[in-house]
Chain A
Amino acid sequence: MRNTLYRSSAIALMTAMLAAGPVWAEKTLTIGMTAADIPRTSGQPDQGFEGNRFTGIPMYDALTHWDLSSETEPSGIVPGLATAWAVNPDDTTKWTFTLREGVTFHDGSPFNAEAVVWNVQKVMDEAAPHFAPDQVGATKSRMPTLVSARAIDDLTVELTTTQPDSFLPLNMTMLLMASPTHWQSLYDAVDAAVTDPKERAAAAWSAFAFDPSGTGPFEGDLFVPRERFEMVKNENYWDPARTPTIDRVVLVPLPDSNARTAALLSGQVDWIEAPAPDAIPRIQAEGNVIYSNPQPHVWPWQLSFHEGSPWLDKRVRHAANLCVNREELQVLLGGYMGIPKGSVEPGHPWWGNPSFDIRYDPDAARALMTEAGFSTDNPVKVKVQTSASGSGQMQPVTMNEYVQQSLADCFFDVELDVLEWNTVFTNWRKGAADESARGAHAINVSFATMDPFFAMVRFVSTETFPPVSNNWGLFGNDEFDALIADARTSFADADRDAALARLHTRIVEEAPFVWIAHDVGPRAMSSKVGNVTQPKNWFIDIAPMTIEE
């Protein structure tokens, strides 16, 4: 009788436990972003690279990925959803990508060549039913030569470019693969009263943003516009090394740096981007950890080669590069600045071997200026357009005032023209000869150097003069066009890198910039967050991170 009672009790207890399910505390990582809104969640994020960092690569994969596993080496590309790629030797405008087998989207549908074609069409083909105009801007300029895709078989896809372009595999890191099947189901569910196909497509994309489906290590779970976005781990992720141990990631937009700092110090979030610099000692004193690493980023003065510009004299350009005391500026910024030697750094595959050494040497700078005909009594007048704030601009006014003061020692009389960020950003595309330049001889807009087009080509090609692209200073000649063409048509990785190194060498030697700083992307994390690798990259991989309960 007693045994029966025990047995019945044990069975009842086990049944109750099974019914209740396993009981554990969910491991949640909460991140305070600098963005004022949740970046787009439907596959091609906005809000710059912060968008890709938090709602892009955690939820979606691309054909190629940045290798984010090293803190010391520059990030290269590694296979993502494509396991191999090669250019067609007979027609170098065509590339073949071999796709990874057995990958499924979060909704369970298979990833295949048709899905790649669909994702190319979403931003390239206006006639496609799922064409998404609001995703075009953030995507198309990142892959300027891509025009179309064609499925060869289930796991092979051919991409076509407008001209031979060895940069394509690098560019493809930015095309994130969304699920066509899931989108179609949302399209079919749009209210029948909406009959215009474009409106139905827009409504489907809007629904997709709330219920996204990619192939990444995290899946979208809860979206409260402008307030929070929650992702949960994808336990079936195809890469075991990147299958998350964190159960849930919560993204909170906190545009004000003091608010972010307060949120971290009060324990509301575990990680903040770009903490207020003067709060860093306090953040560290509370046991939090600051991570930083020079990013592929340049904070320069881009110089004008328009008629009458003082920068037409190479001695003046070199003198300015030699007269900025970057070590002192680094101290001014609390140490959170990288000291540049060019657009990329020594050790980078594209570095080369420039004969001009960017350093602080005011005596050499003054000698060059004297040779160019300038002196204390006859300083060269330069006007620089900059912004009061802005994405990637670090602390523009403080830094420009420092540079202004520094250059005064070398016979430069610098006038700063400080404008609102979006206005400067717009002017950047109009060029030094446009009236929007207001007579400026240089413009201060920082830029990313992740891929060769963004890092170099757009600033030194005669094909990228305004308003086509960002060669604001109108710098370029046949030599540089030939170097660019050589790089674009060197399809073996080593050959391409060697050609880019030759291009970078000449850029540094000709100095169309005054290279002033690299951002180091400081972020603060609670000591509970573990297995953090801060790469030399704008992105960071959340998937392998851990968090203590």
Chain B
Amino acid sequence: MAIKVQIPTPMREQAGGNAEVVVTGGTVKAAFDDLLRQYPALATKLFDNGKLRPYINVFVNDEDIRYLDEMDTAITDGVIVALIPAVAGG
């Protein structure tokens, strides 16, 4: 069991081409720290001056972290963290 972070298509180039990255950490913030340790190029895609870019939403098992404990939301093995940017085209 592990924590999986799902990487959206526009960011996969910066994540070694992976659709999912396995990370460790007890909170969403710790999971992000591990993700960026593995793939530092993701930092500018996800964060702007240390703040998550406002068009990217983070879901823990389909729950938005903004009504949980934001970046301090606790996570355990088996959890899926999904990064979901707004989809523009049409």
Does chain A bind chain B? no
**A interface vs B, CB < 8 Å?**
none
**B interface vs A, CB < 8 Å?**
none
